[in-house]
Amino acid sequence: MTEISSNLEIQARLLELRKLLQRASYEYYALDTPTIEDSVYDAFYQELQKLETQYPQLITPDSPTQRVGEKPTTQFVSVQHHIPLYSLENAFTSNDVNTWQERCQKGLERQEFLDSVCELKIDGSAIALTYEHGVLVRGATRGDGTSGEDITPNIKTIRSIPLRLNLDNPPDRLEIRGEAFLPIAVFDEINQERSQQGEALFANPRNAAAGTLRQLDSRIVAKRRLDFFAYTIHFPSPSPRGTGEMDGSQNLPDISSQWQALEFLQQIGFRVNPNKRLCKSIQELQDYYDFWATERHKLPYMTDGMVMKLNAFLQQEQLGFTQKTPRWAIAWKYPAEEMPTIIEAVTVQVGRTGTLTPVAELRPVLLAGTTVARATLHNSDRLAELDLHVGDTAIVRKAGEIIPEVVRVLPELRPNGATRFMMPIHCPECGQPVFKPENEAATRCINLQCPAIVRGAIEHWVSRDALDVNGIGEKLVRQLVTENHVTSVADLYDLTSDRLQTLDRMGQKSADKIVAAIAQSKTKPWARVLYGLGIRHVGSVNAQNIADNFPNVELLARSTPEVIASIFGIGEEIAQAIYEWFRQEDNQNLIQRLQVAGLQFVGEKKDDRAIAINPNIAGKTFVVTGTLPTLKRDEAKALIQSVGGKVTDSVSKKTHYLVVGAEAGSKLEKAKSLGVQCLSEEELVKLINS
């Protein structure tokens, strides 16, 4: 009896210590108002650590002692995000911001300014956090937005990320998004240590933060003292935004705006950037941007712009998303760092789609933390605009702080005899004439047998997001194409170990591995194959979306642009590119050869959506109102979407049909005033089955 009593007392003391330390961390990191001295915190921490050492069976995942880092892992595991992490559209001028606000107003059929929350854009790494029953169970990198790497042990070392939420009755699951970053002072300390040890220095805090998060040894991560700002919360359904696939909404407040969400994030234990502002006019957006254009240099962390989000969740939901970005948010970037340098030459690259891209070969210059020796010149229109001559002094910057580009040249410093660069009229790779459509800026080689196009197609096919063929890199691809071993991706599947061994520096062991990797690629799913085909505008996310709706290549090849565009997130330009690609005889032959080789052109059919798409409904917009006789509203919505229709919540001029049930409200009156056709449930079913 005494032993049981003693054990209960120990558990109670452990619980008490954990709550006390968690509260102290919350006050220190989230509120910036510590209430206990560091020495007192350390004493409690040591007591907790001592008890857990004595009773390891009583250690819990949310204990503050679990932040110190775990044993090194051998690799990170790829995980699917429950809710996609979208990137943001960028704005670089006030006109861009005005255009964004006007676009939102038009989409919502509003004329007044839409209240927007401004937050500083932290220069770090986006992180997705998952909490189950209030306890942190997973931290993952953004990755490609749909999947990332599970780095939970590293995430647990960040003290501004709570291991347990400050909620008495938490929901089954909450998704939190935010930015992990390295404070400037910590970055300087790390580089000083690396310099003393003779190690290469980190270029900037952003690179250092990204590299730290991908350390296989979380004990190293703990020493680097990463920080974190939370900026997004996805509530369980039913929620203010109705996003995600989560159940339960116990004891959550009624939160209907981004401003309220930020306050709630701080209440439950997160650090939220204090320099946020709720703006009610374009001028207030401009004032916020102008203020931080200079004041940001005084901050203890790096920021490269501001993020603007419509405040009301209802407005966010109504506007929705494009394939890559939310329509209700935008990032206004500060001008990138600019530096002058000399253009020593101009070369022309030919991409996998045949596009010719002029590239400036620069006298190397340090720009935004990295050495830049080449910069894109985009296309012939940009060349003409710049009036660029070889030998010019040019101002170079990093577009979006990533891709170096030439901003302008300084003609007053132009040397005598400098010659203007003109785009070639023949492809520099194959010598065939190039073509520039009247309505496009791009100049293209249209010779499908051009070595550059073939190389690009193969490099894309074997890339990690496509067929992921290990052992085939840029150098080997160049060899294969140069020596005519491969003239299309289908030729890869005819390669043998003996043929590969005829190449320079290729032994039997390496050749056997490559042949095995090529054979393994035949097991990759239909979505990866579709992406690997390299159809213009079809990225990996689009490919997955299309494959989900078209479970085999025959259905997609026979489909019309209108039906393809009816898929949520697939626009007319993408649909037209897919349609035209499948009309080309060379591409039809390629599909046949790949099918014979054993590639996967049939996916797992998740539903009958693709087969059942009704061309009379595809792309049409429906609104459902009132109580239907037999169908629930969600069931009616799913039924419409299953045949290619779109469902929105509000009636507008763009609405094609209003599905009306009993006790229909104001939506029915508005539909009548706009001349929108109204359908009963029975008429809807007949239309779907037509």
Catalytic (active-site) positions: 121
Helix, strand, or coil (residue 682): helix
Directed axis angle between helix 38-54 and helix 2-25, to 10°? Answer: 140
Altogether, the residues listed in the chain come to a count of: 690
Q: Where are the alpha helices (DSSP H) in 2-75?
A: 2-25, 38-54
**34 alpha-carbon distance from chain centroid:** 36
> Please, which residues have CB within 8 angstroms of residue 567's CB and are 6 or more apart in sequence?
545, 546, 549, 644
Tokens encoding 77: 């595991």
The DSSP 8-state label assigned to residue 236 in this structure reads P
Long-range contacts (CB closer than 8 Å, 24 or more residues apart) made by 456-462: 456/350, 456/351, 456/352, 456/353, 456/534, 457/352, 457/488, 457/489, 457/534, 458/486, 458/489, 458/492, 459/352, 460/352, 460/532, 460/534, 461/489, 461/492, 461/532, 461/533, 461/534, 462/492, 462/521
Distance from C-alpha of 460 to C-alpha of 532, rounded to nearest angstrom? 6
> Please, which residues have CB within 8 angstroms of residue 106's CB and are 6 or more apart in sequence?
none
* Residue of 348, 340, 350, 326 whose CA lies nearest to 372: 340
Half-sphere exposure of 665 (CA within 13 A, CB side): 9
> Please, which residues have CB within 8 angstroms of residue 534's CB and are 6 or more apart in sequence?
352, 353, 456, 457, 460, 461
Distance from C-alpha of 575 to C-alpha of 568, rounded to nearest angstrom? 12
Burial class (CB in 10 A: 0-12, 13-18, 19+), 305: buried
The DSSP 8-state label assigned to residue 202 in this structure reads P
